């Protein structure tokens, strides 16, 4: 599943290609991708047509585009996009072939890039497995009082790259949680944007075992862990995200090139000490660790 870096790469592309453009028409190819929009496809078409995208925002794995009406009033709604396991937002021109997994298509108002060349006229939502989707959602105050978020994303915590992420508050919540460290990192209500891949990478970087009890975490260890999460995420962003298959792409259909230190490297030598990486069972998934650098204690 795409994690914070992959969604942030998409957000940046949408910010460059789609912001300040008006949705001129909406084609719903597969209504299943609008199951979260409970008023149905026709309402989605009617309500979104004519609105202008004014920003591209993200919290964790959630991406949303605040939209304003033609009267220029402040945005009160946003197009919320969840990529799920295989969702893609792609900018395209009408002559480009339609993907057989295309679910929703937005026709955008004409615009030019910095060199005066026309921008692609379409934003396509492609989703092979149909776990993602779109929703025109109401903007509400964020739970911490800073800014607004879509109503369906208000429960999502800030992510480690958010300037307002509070490490001290995260440490206090971590100590109260009484669970394993990786399970806590995957809790999007505690810290968002981290999935199986980057949890393994951050824990390796911080030299912490995935099963370490959260109630035993000291403040210095928590700060080290958060710093590791931030470094892992920034490195992945610089590489355009991490791609294992053709599903994880930016808005131009390009895959990321991030390299990993531990995830998926069972049997390979640890980049720090040379000990073979091992894979352990975790929540019907796997955790990859260096048994020397990340001792269970």
- Token pair belonging to 224: 């080290």
Question: Which residues, 6+ apart, have CB-to-CB distance to 216 below 8 Å?
Answer: none
Residue 285 annotated among the catalytic residues of the structure: yes
Element (H, E) at 57: strand 57-59
Q: Out of 3, 6, 102, 201, which one is annotated catalytic?
A: 3
**What pTM value is reported for the model?**
0.89
3-state helix, strand, coil in the chain (%, to 5): 25, 25, 50
pLDDT score of 296: 84
Q: Out of 2, 41, 66, 120, which one is annotated catalytic?
A: 2
d(CA 128, CA 260): 25
Q: What is the pLDDT of residues 22-54, one digit of tens each?
A: 999 999 999 999 999 999 999 999 999 999 999
pLDDT score of 85: 85
Residue 182 annotated among the catalytic residues of the structure: no
pLDDT bracket for residue 6 (50, 70, 90): confident
Cα Rg of the chain (Å, integer): 20
Among 62-71, 95-104, 165-174, 230-239, which stretch is predicted with the lowest mean pLDDT? Answer: 230-239
Q: Out of 35, 46, 178, 285, which one is annotated catalytic?
A: 285
% of the chain with per-residue pLDDT over 70: 93
Residue 158 annotated among the catalytic residues of the structure: no
pLDDT score of 247: 46
- Token pair belonging to 8: 């942030």
C-alpha count within 13 angstroms, C-beta hemisphere, residue 37: 28
Element (H, E) at 202: helix 196-206
Q: Out of 21, 59, 61, 103, which one is annotated catalytic?
A: 61
d(CA 219, CA 167): 9
Residue 129 annotated among the catalytic residues of the structure: no
Whether 29 contacts 102, CB under 8 Å: yes
């Amino acid at each position: 599943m795409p994690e914070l870096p992959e969604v942030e790469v998409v957000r940046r592309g949408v910010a460059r290609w789609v912001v300040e453009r008006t949705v001129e028409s909406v084609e719903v190819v597969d209504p299943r991708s609008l199951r979260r929009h409970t008023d149905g496809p026709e309402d989605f078409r009617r309500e979104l047509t004519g609105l202008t995208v004014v920003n591209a925002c993200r919290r964790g794995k959630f991406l949303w585009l605040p939209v304003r009406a033609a009267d220029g009033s402040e945005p009160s709604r946003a197009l919320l996009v969840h990529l799920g396991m295989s969702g893609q937002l792609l900018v395209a021109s009408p002559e480009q072939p339609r993907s057989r997994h295309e679910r929703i298509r937005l026709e955008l108002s004409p615009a030019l890039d910095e060199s005066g060349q026309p921008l692609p006229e379409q934003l396509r939502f492609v989703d092979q497995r149909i776990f993602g989707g779109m929703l025109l959602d109401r903007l509400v105050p964020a739970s911490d009082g800073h800014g607004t978020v879509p109503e369906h994303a208000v429960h999502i915590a800030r992510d480690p790259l958010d300037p307002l992420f509070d490490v001290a508050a995260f440490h206090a919540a971590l100590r109260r949680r009484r669970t394993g460290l990786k399970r806590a990192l995957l809790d999007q209500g505690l810290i968002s944007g981290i999935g199986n891949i980057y949890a393994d990478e951050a824990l390796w970087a911080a030299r912490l075992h995935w099963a370490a009890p959260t109630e035993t975490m000291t403040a210095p260890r928590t700060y080290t862990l958060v710093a590791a999460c931030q470094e892992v995420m920034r490195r992945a962003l610089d590489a355009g995200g991490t791609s294992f298959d053709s599903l994880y792409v930016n808005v131009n259909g390009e895959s990321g090139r991030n390299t990993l230190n531990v995830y998926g490297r069972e049997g390979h030598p640890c980049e720090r000490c040379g000990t073979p990486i091992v894979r352990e069972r975790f929540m019907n998934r796997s955790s990859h660790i260096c048994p020397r650098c990340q001792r269970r204690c």
